[in-house]
Amino acid sequence: MDVRVYRSAEEASSAAAAHIAALVARKHEAVLGLATGDTPLLLYRQLIALVRSGGLDLSRTTTFNLDEYVGLSGDDPRSYGHYMRTNLFDPVGIDLARTHVPDGLAPDVEAECEAYEHAIAAAGGIDLQVLGIGADGHVGFNEPTSSLGSRTRIKTLTRRTRADNARFFESPDDVPLHVLTMGIGTILDSREVLLLAFGDGKADAVARTIEGPVGAIVPASALQLHRNVRVLLDDGAASRLALRAYYDEVAANLPP
């Protein structure tokens, strides 16, 4: 894995935004996989700024989000569909027909998940997937012990994840128990992955992801099997990495 540690979440997010802008400049019709939560908010702010300054044109890109809560409509302010429109899609003016978020109200969940996988394939696959990481090592909502070959499907959130996400709800009990999420296999099929993590609270999951054994107990560790993953961290999230000095040395002396 290509591990980069930045002085701040802002700096890491700017680097991620520049990376995405370079990809879209090379491939205007790039397919982007997107995440929600706190972690990508600064990245989305940077992308909006780039679009407004003319440094990025997202009008021909297609997007697929990782996940959505079951039982929430995309108009519900607590849904990830709403989050995406507020934090990226509306500010950059992307045609919503080019954006995809699993339908949390789909009457036939299995058909919805299968259609989501087909839509990704029909778009040519995901060029670059943005990921955050849960404190328990989940990516998307692939909770510990998720199959490393899994595809988009319904999953049950752990108590810990529901507590972590309770800030958007009245209490942890109000956080939906179920989500639709891309699988680990879906994520591993993307051509490139940018994993962002900020703050001490992610340090343990980050160390186990990068330096621990590959195993379903830390779903993000499956990324070790992917050939093109860049991990962008701040000091807090990097604080438990045994090989931190090595990663800094590699980043400061990139091969020509």
User: Of 68, 138, 164, 189, which one is the catalytic site residue?
Assistant: 138
User: Of 127, 136, 189, 234, which one is the catalytic site residue?
Assistant: 136
| Site membership for ligand F6R, residue 42 (CB under 6 A) | no
| Site membership for ligand F6R, residue 38 (CB under 6 A) | yes
Residue 67 Cβ, how far from ligand F6R at the closest point, in Å? 5
Length of the chain: 256
Q: Which is nearer to ligand F6R, 74 or 132 (CB)?
A: 132
Tokens matching residue 95: 């045609």
Residue 80 Cβ, how far from ligand F6R at the closest point, in Å? 6
Residue 172 Cβ, how far from ligand F6R at the closest point, in Å? 14
Tokens matching residue 152: 């988009």
SS3 232: strand
Q: Is the dihedral of CA 214, 216, 220, 223 positive or negative?
A: positive
E strand or H helix at 209, and its extent?
helix 203-211
| Site membership for ligand F6R, residue 43 (CB under 6 A) | no
| Site membership for ligand F6R, residue 152 (CB under 6 A) | no
Place of tokens 């400061």: 252
Q: Which residues contact 160 (CB under 8 A, 6 or more apart)?
A: 134, 135, 136
Task: Say if residues 136 and 164 touch (Cβ distance below 8 Å).
Answer: no
Place of tokens 């090595």: 246
Among 35, 72, 88, 126, binds ligand F6R (CB under 6 A): 35
138 part of the active site: yes
C-alpha to C-alpha distance for 69 and 23, rounded to whole angstroms = 30
| Site membership for ligand F6R, residue 219 (CB under 6 A) | no
Tokens matching residue 110: 């299995």
Using CB under 6 A, which residues numbered 89 to 148 contact ligand F6R? 132-134, 138-141
Tokens matching residue 144: 């510990």
Residue 110 Cβ, how far from ligand F6R at the closest point, in Å? 20
Residue 34 Cβ, how far from ligand F6R at the closest point, in Å? 8
| Site membership for ligand F6R, residue 36 (CB under 6 A) | yes
C-alpha to C-alpha distance for 59 and 100, rounded to whole angstroms = 14
Tokens matching residue 149: 């070959």
Size of the residue set binding ligand F6R (CB under 6 A): 14
| Site membership for ligand F6R, residue 68 (CB under 6 A) | no
Residue 17's nearest CA partner among 194, 157, 205 is 194
Among 39, 87, 99, 146, binds ligand F6R (CB under 6 A): 39
143 part of the active site: yes
Active site residues: 67, 136, 138, 143
Q: Which stretches of the chain bind ligand F6R, using CB under 6 A?
A: 35-39, 66-67, 132-134, 138-141
